[in-house]
A and B are shown apart, each in its own frame.
Chain A
Amino acid sequence: MTAVLKLGVAGLSRALAAREISSVELTQGLLAGIDAHSDLGAFLCTDADHALAEARAADAAIAAGSAGPLTGVPIAHKDIFVTDHARSGLPSTAGSKMLAGYASPFDATVVARLGAGEAGPAGRGPGAGMVTLGKLNCDEFAMGSSNENSAFGPVLNPWDRQRVPGGSSGGSAAAVAARLVPAATGTDTGGSIRQPASFTGITGIKPTYGVCSRYGMIAFASSLDQAGPMARSAEDCAMLLSAMSGFDARDATSAERPPQDYAALMRKARAGASAAKPLQGLRVGLPKEFFPAALAADVNGAVRAALAELEKLGATLVDVSLPRTELSIPVYYIIAPAEASSNLGRFDGVKFGHRAAQYADLMEMYKKSRAEGFGPEVKRRIMIGTYVLSHGYYDAYYLQAQKLRRMIADDFQACFSAGAQGCDLIAGPVAPTVAWKLGEQGDDPLQAYLADIFTLPASLAGLPGMSVPAGLGAHGMPVGLQLIGNYFDEGTLLHTAHALQQATDFHLRTPQGY
């Protein structure tokens, strides 16, 4: 029983189909574990009644033979996704006091597709039938890389409870790493799936911008936000991504493509590959800018070791350059706050969300409600974004950043499309260090911004990026290998990660006591 509870998505899919366990038993068992480990701070809320109702429906579907591969498998959602309160009993807070207790009247598209399905004219119909256990902690409005910016307290890293799990999808990462849930959703704007996955030794993928609908994702930076799965393995991520991705008419930036079977793409053998050399012919580019002198030795060692494994599997490592890697920090921290400052304008205490108790007039109501509702990092980014868009500064900051964004995207294309010399993937570390200690960065936000350097370029270009466990570094903390693919080439990312995970056990390492 307890062993089954620790299985990943694929394992549970098989166990449920084989009736080794029912979805109800699974749900009860996992909810008990979530309560037992509430001190991690990973979960913001659960709703046993609704979860068990979903589990019963799943068991009925399994019994009726109408179940899909994910039916009855539990999942939890980053609390940046809205969940229909009437249906699920779950509030949607974005980790912010501004939205404490907020009752959404609808489900995010990703939530609906993984769960009960989408009704309505724009809806895709039945969902994957997964059971929603609850909502996961995150940095406020997904702004942060340590999960210390949540209004509802930090999340502890199960590998070392003195350390951060990364962010902004810190609750998702900690919950999966601690085996509290087999899988979770995350969102990645500048690295918020990849970096926490790296810090907690799990597998996470941020797909190409437009692959997953943003409808129902509380917006941080609209031109960068992307949803993705966080789980134990590439195989689990592939199964989840197939269910949560695809065109959505409610998101004007959603890519119009036929539904993809990422599990099949993951297994698809490469031309000229063999059992011993599944990655034969795969060219993996290593940007020199991703391996600076300042890169922590333990991270460098773990990443190089994982790259050596890829070579053993037939991959060819080639040196490439992404010359504007360092520039991606100011470019991102202009564009994302600018969009955020506008996206957060709707939180004015009029239609929903926090309203100050005392105010003399409308102006004071606005200023007090927003001052009380938003935390320090969110205020900082609103200030930066408001400033760079304000009169007389737009061209120098926002427009310049948008132009550099184009140059950064072009740098990637130069690597991918150099004919025979071009590479299929780009690889490097996810973060310059392993997870740092809680409070270590004090109140110097700049340190955290600089630590995003390796995840920002792919985000700005809109490319798919993945974090794959690459063993342990200093203090026995996990290190992640970042794989970046070309547009809509999630298949190659998953195939490569899967091959690595078939040959190594990095992804099977589990923190003590979980």
Chain B
Amino acid sequence: MALTPQDVNRIAHLARLELSAAEQAQMLDQLNGFFGIVEQMRAVDTRGVEPLSTPLSALHPVQLRLRDDLVTEGNDRPANQKSAPAVEGGLFLVPRVIE
């Protein structure tokens, strides 16, 4: 099942990546090369197998650890915004968003 140039455009848009025509062409070849080795995986019968999303659950049941509802963080705005591209009055600035 090969990807089409339209697939590459759609995915690049979803991922917010601008790709030049040359990059798109190369990406198409490389992705199709990769999905070639994926086919063997799709063929395996995995019926009844529980997906493993957190590795240690292969060892024992893993459950989410919960934090007490306490405020532990203060105002670190200056340090937190040190590497911000555009800030004014403490707000991060972006091109106008139309709703």
Residues of chain B within 8 A (CB-CB) of A396 are: 42
A256-B44 in contact (CB<8A): no
Asked whether any CB of chain A lies closer than 8 Å to the CB of B21, the reply is no
Q: Determine the main DSSP class of A at the interface with B.
A: helix
**Complex Cα distance A443/B17, Å?**
20
B64-A379 in contact (CB<8A): no
Residues of chain A within 8 A (CB-CB) of B53 are: 223, 402
Q: Which residues of B come within 8 Å of A, CB atoms?
A: 3, 7-8, 10-12, 14-19, 23, 26-27, 30-31, 33-34, 37-38, 40-42, 44, 46, 49-56, 58-59, 64-65, 67, 70, 72, 76, 79-86, 92, 94-97
- Going nearest first, the 8 A-B pairs with the smallest beta carbon separation are A462-B55, A402-B51, A105-B79, A409-B58, A406-B52, A403-B46, A367-B18, A355-B85
A223-B54, A402-B52 given as contacts; is B17 within 8 A of A370 (CB)? yes
A407-B82 in contact (CB<8A): no
**Complex Cα distance A362/B99, Å?**
12
Asked whether any CB of chain B lies closer than 8 Å to the CB of A234, the reply is no
A252-B11 in contact (CB<8A): no
Residues of chain A within 8 A (CB-CB) of B95 are: 359-362, 365
Residues of chain B within 8 A (CB-CB) of A371 are: 17-19
User: Shortest distance in angstroms between B3's beta carbon and chain A's nearest beta carbon?
Assistant: 7
Residues of chain A within 8 A (CB-CB) of B86 are: 355
A330-B41 in contact (CB<8A): yes
Asked whether any CB of chain B lies closer than 8 Å to the CB of A341, the reply is yes
**Complex Cα distance A351/B77, Å?**
11
Residues of chain B within 8 A (CB-CB) of A102 are: 83
Residues of chain A in range 354-383 having any CB-CB distance to chain B below 8 Å? 354-355, 359-368, 370-371, 374, 379-380, 382-383
A-B contact pairs, 14 of them (CB 8 A): A223-B55, A249-B65, A329-B37, A363-B16, A370-B17, A379-B17, A390-B11, A390-B14, A396-B42, A400-B41, A402-B51, A409-B55, A450-B37, A462-B56
Residues of chain B within 8 A (CB-CB) of A407 are: 44, 46, 49
A461-B41 in contact (CB<8A): no
Asked whether any CB of chain B lies closer than 8 Å to the CB of A399, the reply is yes
Binary per-residue interface labels of chain A (222-253) against chain B in the complex, 1 for a CB within 8 Å, 0 otherwise = 01100000000000000000000000010011
**Complex Cα distance A356/B16, Å?**
13
Asked whether any CB of chain B lies closer than 8 Å to the CB of A196, the reply is no
A256-B65, A383-B8, A387-B11 given as contacts; is B3 within 8 A of A103 (CB)? no
Asked whether any CB of chain B lies closer than 8 Å to the CB of A495, the reply is no
